[in-house]
Amino acid sequence: MLAKDIMNPEVITVSIPGTRDEVLELLKEHGISGVPVVKNGELVGIITRKDIINNPEEEQTALLMTRNPIVVSPNTPLQELVSILVKSGIRRLPVVENSRLVGIVTVADIVKAIADMKIEKRAGEFMENTVPAVWDETPLNVAGEIMRLTKSEALPVLNGKTKLVGILTEKEIINRTSLEDLVEASDYSQAGGEDEWMWEGLRDFTRKYFEVTVLKLPDIPVREVMRETVSIYPNTSISEAAKQMVKNKVDQLTVITPEEKLLGIVYDRNVIRALL
C-alpha cells in the first residue's frame, strides 16, 4: 500500500500572508485539526489547532505555522509513512509530486486502513496510562489552560464520584474559542542614562496604548461542552479499536475496566504503531 492509495487529494489550504482568525474559522468550518500553508502555490508550512492553542497571543499565520514540513511522494510505502509519523510526532504528511501539492496523508487515513486489517494485538499494549483528567465542574477556561500546560490532546472528564462521564478534546476547545480585542498599555521612557529613574527621567515617561486580539474561552463548566466518550477494554484488538475510531469519527478511545474505571487513553497515533 502506497501514499497515493490512502491520501486525500482534496487538500484544504491557507495562504500567507494570512491571519490566525482566518485559520481558526477554517478549522471550525471543516472540522479539521490542521492545514498546509502555501505561498504562490508552493508549500511553505503547516498550521494546527495545537499551534493556535499554544500561542494564544500570536496573530500572523507565518509566525504560527511550522516551516519546511516533512513531505512524502505518492509512491512512499505505508510502512515508511507510519515510521515518519511515529518518529516525528506529527499527524499529517503533505504529498508532493514535481514540487506540487497533490494530496495529504493523515493519521486518520492510516487508521482507516488498519480497520480493514486483522491485527489482533491488544489495545492495552498501546494505551497511554498517564492521563490528566478534569472534574466535570471545572471551568472551561481552566481546562483549556490545563490542556495547554500538559500538552494534552484530550482530557477525560470525571464526576464527583470519579466516574468517567465524558471527554474534552482540542476540537471542543477550538469550537468554543472566541476572539476578544483588548487595549494594553506600555510605559516608554524618553530619558536615558544612569539617572533615568530620577525625577528628571520620570517626567519624560510616555504611556502608549495598543490593541491586541487574544483567544478567550467562556467561563462555563466542562460538562456543558464535553462530548460522550467512546470506550474500549484493554483486550480489544487494535483493528477493532481502529473500527471504533472510524465509526465514531474520533481520534482517541478511553480504556476502562469492567467496572468502568478509567485506565488510560488510546490515541490514533498509538494505533498506527501496531504496524511497526
pLDDT tens digits for 84-97? 999 998 899 999 98
How far apart, in whole angstroms, are the C-alpha atoms of residue 265 and residue 100?
37
In the predicted structure, residue 204 carries a pLDDT above the cut 70 = no
How far apart, in whole angstroms, are the C-alpha atoms of residue 19 and residue 25?
10
Write down the pLDDT at residue 257: 92
Write down the pLDDT at residue 180: 56
The arrangement of secondary structure in 123-169+219-275, i.e. its CATH architecture, is: Roll (3.10)
Given CATH 3.40.50.720, say whether it is the number of domain 3-115: no
> What is the pLDDT confidence band of residue 214, given thresholds at 50, 70 and 90?
low
What is the rounded average pLDDT for all residues in the chain? 86
Write down the pLDDT at residue 211: 46
Q: In a 3-state reduction of DSSP, which class is residue 115? A: helix
In the predicted structure, residue 140 carries a pLDDT above the cut 80 = yes
Question: Of 74 and 216, which is predicted with more confidence?
Answer: 74
Enumerate helices (H) and strands (E) in the chain, giving the number of each.
Answer: 11, 14
Residue with cell 489547532: 49
Average pLDDT value for residue range 118-140:
94
Write down the pLDDT at residue 113: 94
> What is the pLDDT confidence band of residue 53, given thresholds at 50, 70 and 90?
confident
Cell of 60: 500572523
Strands 154-158 and 134-135: parallel
CATH 3.10.580.10-classified regions of the chain: 3-115, 123-169+219-275
* For the chain, percent of residues with pLDDT exceeding 70: 86
pLDDT 10s digits, 160-174: 999 999 999 988 888
> What is the pLDDT confidence band of residue 47, given thresholds at 50, 70 and 90?
very high
**Sign of the CA dihedral with 55 first, then 61, 62, and 68 last:** positive
H helices of the chain, in order, are 3-6, 20-30, 49-54, 61-64, 78-88, 107-115, 140-150, 170-175, 199-202, 238-248, 268-271
In the predicted structure, residue 117 carries a pLDDT above the cut 90 = yes
- pTM for the model stands at 0.75
According to DSSP, the residues that pair with 15 across neighbouring strands are 38
